[in-house]
Each structure stands twice: as structure tokens, then as C-alpha cells.
Amino acid sequence: MKFRASFEVLPEFSLGEYKNLEIEMPEMAITDEGVASTLAEMQQRAATFAPVEDRSVQNDDFVQIKLIGTPEGGGDPLNAESVLCHVGAEETMEPFNENLRGANVGDHKNFDVDYPADYPDPKLAGKKFHYSVDVLGIKTKKLPELNDEFAKDVSDSASLDDLKTKVREGLEHERDHRQKELQREKIIGELVKLHDFPVPESLVEHQMDVRLERVVRSLAQQGVDPRAVNVDWVSLRKRQEERAKDDVKAELVIDRIATEEKIEVTDDELQHELEHMASHSGESAEAIRARLTKQGALDRMKAKLRSDKTVDWLAQNARVKTVAASAK
């Protein structure tokens, strides 16, 4: 008996000059303005609403309304017994501003709203709704004063100065995380540009599926049912092809560099990662190790750690030029 089999093999390629990669990183300074902006956001979250009497609705008021929204052409209506509408705000659809501005408690309004196709809520995007609205109340937002009492109310800080210090430290931690992620992206981008070779189609197809799954998970985490979104999934998947090729190429190059530089994941590093996962999951590190081993995922986890460790090594050996944040 004779037979012929076709299968893909990993490509042969030579490593380029991966040491001393040159990358540019934007300056990410933590400023007093940034701290003040974060404190202002905390003020907004701690704000209270005070009722307004003896006047009509003005810009910047929060109007308590009962509404029924009926989609043109049929469909599920929107019903809300009590919701606050911020009149005059940028995020408020203009028909709400126009019809509620000047209204009084007890007024009834009927009006239409045309939602743009790119409206964030897929249930409303591109549709026209007929609204029936009752004005239940008028409120204004009262911001707390920035003082020691405010600091104690919103955190475990002993004073406003203590809170400012903690806010700055938090911003610095976020900045460091963003810097590391951006540096990683730039290092991988440079590796891809340095190496030109064909990648196995099966790996590209798999990576396209992985990218599509990320989109689906992201929608689900936002409370959006992916099945209810008007998306051409076939076209979206196809648009991931070039990025998927770069992902696969980067993975192959990083694996080769790790081998060349004898970069491996130690047992202590693996255990540290398992303990980190355990601290966020409620499981013990031993239970997670057993589960991943049973699922055949422990080796994939070690491969990911090895890849991350290699990119960190490349970053340490790169020549980084810091440029102004506004520079291209």
C-alpha cells in the first residue's frame, strides 16, 4: 500500500540582530495636574444629589424621569420607572436636552430620538425610538469639599495630603504597567520587522481564532451578547490575518531567541506565578497546578512565562530613547 501525506513544518530562518534593539518610548510623567484630575474624579463619585424646588430644569441639572421608549418598526420597548438624565451633558442625546430643558415637575413630554449607527449600546445603535417621558423630579449634584474629612470618607487616608500621596503612588503604578506593556509591543514590533519568513498557515488560522475569541470575551465582559451584535464575524476574522501572521512570527522568533540565550523558566518562577493566580482565584497553588496539569495547560503556561521572560531580557538589552508624549 502506498500513500502520500502533506504536513506543515516550522520554517527555517536566521536570527537577525536582536540585541540592542532601538525603540522610542513616550514620556509618561506623573504631574500635579494628573493627581488633581484623579481627585476630581473621586469627588464626582462621592457627590450627592439635592432636590430642586420652585424652578424649571436648567442646564447641568439631573432630571429624574419615568420613560417608555418604543422602537420604530417594532421591537422590545425600553421601560424605566426612575432614571436620572443629565441635561446639557455631552453624553446626553440632544432631543432629551431640548425637551427637558425648561420643564417642570409633573410635565409630560413626547419626542423621537435617532441614534447613530456607532452608538455604544447595540440595542439602540442605528434605531429610532419614540419616547414618552414624565418629569418626576429635579436634582443638582453637590460635590464634597477637598479636605481631610473627604480623604477619610473615601479612603483609609489620615489626611488630604496622605490621600494625594497614595493617589500619586497609584498613578505611578499604573504608569509603570502601561510602560511595560508598550515597551513589550514595541520590542515585538521590531522583532517582526527584522525577520521575514513564511509562517505555517495552520498556526495563523489558530491565531485568528484566538483574536476573535478575545473580541467575544471583551463584549461578554461588557455585558453585551455577541450574538445580538450586528457584526460580520467572517469578515472580522479575515481582517485579523495580518496581525495573526505577526503574532505567529513573533512567537517563533522569541522562542528561538530564548533557546539561543538559554532562557528558561525556573521551578521557583513557575511556583510564584501559580501563587499569584491562587491569590486572585481562591484556589490553592497546588490545586491550580493539578488542574492545569490534568488539562495539559501547564506546559502552555510555562511557554508563556518563558516568552515573557525573553521579552523582558530583550527590553533590558534594548536602547530606549524617551521622546515627548506628543511626538510621533
Instruction: Locate the domains of the chain by residue range.
Output: 48-142
Q: How many CA atoms lie within 13 A of 61 on its CB side?
A: 23
The residues near 13 (Cβ < 8 Å, ≥ 6 apart) are 195, 197, 252, 253, 256
Q: Which CATH architecture has domain 48-142?
A: Roll (3.10)
pLDDT (average), residues 294-311: 93
Asked whether residue 328 carries a pLDDT value surpassing 80, the answer given is: no
Q: Give percent of the chain above pLDDT 90.
A: 74
Task: Give the gyration radius of the chain's Cα atoms.
Answer: 27
- Say if residue 20 is exposed, middle or buried (CB neighbours under 10 Å; 0-12, 13-18, 19+): exposed
Average pLDDT along the chain:
91
Look at residue 326 in the predicted model and tell me its pLDDT: 61
pLDDT (average), residues 263-286: 93
- Say if residue 249 is exposed, middle or buried (CB neighbours under 10 Å; 0-12, 13-18, 19+): buried
Look at residue 327 in the predicted model and tell me its pLDDT: 45
Asked whether residue 269 carries a pLDDT value surpassing 50, the answer given is: yes
Measuring CA to CA, how many Å separate 9 from each of 6, 143, 199, 234? 10, 64, 9, 27
| DSSP run (H or E) holding 180 | helix 160-194
The residues near 85 (Cβ < 8 Å, ≥ 6 apart) are 62, 63, 65, 92, 96, 100
pTM higher than 0.85 for the full model? no
pLDDT (average), residues 1-27: 88
Distance, CA of 151 to CA of 154 (rounded, Å): 6
User: What's the angle, vertex CA 203, arms to CA 224 and CA 227, rounded to 5?
Assistant: 15
Distance, CA of 292 to CA of 235 (rounded, Å): 34
Distance, CA of 277 to CA of 162 (rounded, Å): 31
Closest CA to 320 of 23, 29, 28, 27: 23
User: What's the angle, vertex CA 299, arms to CA 296 and CA 302, rounded to 5?
Assistant: 145
Per the CB < 8 A criterion, the answer to whether 67 and 130 are in contact is no
DSSP 158: S
Look at residue 32 in the predicted model and tell me its pLDDT: 95
Q: Give percent of the chain above pLDDT 70.
A: 99
